[in-house]
Chains A and B, each alone.
Chain A
């Protein structure tokens, strides 16, 4: 409304020290007229002590600024003063333009702020989950390896069809037996050996000569795939791998296997027809 311009207009030439206050202006205007405070109070139906409070600039006597301003407007208009001018001056005199609506916190059991708490909790939870997933995926995957050479425990993806080869065709016990074993050495040995030691001690040269086409899967102690695919007839494949090496041959009769320069016969127990699935656990050098 006109509040703003009435605020700005007198402020331009305002001289705070010399300017009479609202109360002084009201007193002056009243004394210039043949009206007593009681008469004005009766006319406006505003109690005389409140009018006196206005004249003495005791604005804190009013319950709220809305009343002080309202009375001031009516009083000023009755005395022939410009109400907009008075209100503008009132604003220069006081700082507060608003009334505090509530001073004390009510007792409450639940409020909307809890939504924020929930939100914070949800964010923390999400961060936690993300952190766990990241940590999980970045974990190095190392197969448990026994380094004392006494009781190799080898986990097979398909233990039923699998045969574990120990020193030269000797069949190892199934892995279940290892975990069931009551005596101590194996479980204590289960913790992973340092990968470097593993590589140094058990690295062997493996050579595959394909006389016929044969699907071949070879993986080393760490589960790393060294060969995975169809070896075509006449091809030769050679690689170094750490023991134990698990091998699957789709056409066992079409492959000749050489380990460390020695021919390695495919263990007959491991064969199922033309398939062979076996593990080279130890060369017994």
Chain B
């Protein structure tokens, strides 16, 4: 009762609850929040409880740098909730922050994007954490659909559109026609696996241990998916395993390309499998128009070139690939109001 009343003071939200980043699209305002999905928790022995120390970007800075009484954790893993209570707290904080300083506790309608491959249990966990965070009504929509709409693909047509959304934890490839998913697959390879691959490569070849944040920085600055003309270099510091002391060293983009081969081949394999499974008519449409890349992974340099070479199809990167899912989710909320729930498969 109170929730429905407060609902009149709250705007609809679309949340891309990602493993790496959480984005919130506020209806009528656009993307209002883009923060890492990280929570830092302080244990208070005196009061016997846990207190939120930081959420989002502040908490991410603490990753791997916390003392014993603080734990910085990423409550989502592979696109689904790994720690229910922390996810709920994080969502509550983000929803409040997205609404700005209001006198009312926000109680919006919330659309959350879930990975295509997620199970009923995982979806229920996401729904309940969103409800626990104050949502009046929760819609769940599959990520590839939101990504395609956010990228501006003509999903309503009776023609095939293929979208590849590379997130932090999962990559999803889908063929969409007539507002529905014809074929989709989700592989648990994403930005995190890229970071992990870089960390492993450096440890194996240099005998140096680097942290998650450093690996991510390397990926963003010199990472590429296809050999380019220029070779970039970066200087990083890590702990030398044999000597046990921090050391500086230099990496170049060809090394990172080599490091990323395994996860990249996983994604390419998923795309090829999807093309194999696509009905021939839709496959022909995809072959003509190409594949659209969305998600933070699409920002990896020359990933489109790699996919073009491997599949022989045109591959284009959407505008602002990082926000496609959240924007698409926002558009879906509007369409639900406009056309009713029959328009899209939402739960």
Which A residues lie at the B interface, using CB under 8 A?
A: 1, 3, 44-47, 63-67, 69-71, 73-74, 98-103, 105-108, 110-113
Contact = CB atoms under 8 A, between A and B. Distances in A.
A112 B316 contact: no
Interface residues of B, number: 36
A45 B319 CA distance: 20
B30 interface: no
Interface in B116-131: none
B313 A65 contact: no
Contact of A46 (B152, B314, B331, B339): B314
Given A63-B159, A67-B289, A102 B335 contact: yes
Which of B152, B317, B337 has the largest number of chain A CB atoms within 10 A?
B152
Given A44-B314, A73-B316, 9 more contacts: A45-B290, A70-B315, A71-B290, A73-B317, A99-B152, A101-B149, A102-B335, A102-B343, A112-B341
Contact of B317 (A3, A47, A70, A107): A70
A47 B156 contact: no
Contacts of A99: 152-154
Contacts of A45: 290, 308, 312-314
8 contacts: A44-B308, A67-B292, A69-B319, A70-B318, A74-B316, A99-B154, A100-B156, A112-B341
B151 interface: yes
Given A64-B154, A99-B152, A99-B153, A70 B292 contact: yes
B336 interface: yes
A93 B318 CA distance: 19
B179 interface: yes
B156 A103 contact: yes
Contacts of B336: 112
A56 B335 CA distance: 34
Given A63-B157, A111-B340, A102 B179 contact: yes
Contact of A66 (B151, B156, B159, B343): B151
A46 B343 contact: no
Contacts of B179: 102
Nearest to A62: B289
Contact of A111 (B152, B156, B159, B342): B342
Given A99-B154, A102-B335, A66 B342 contact: no
A101 B331 contact: yes
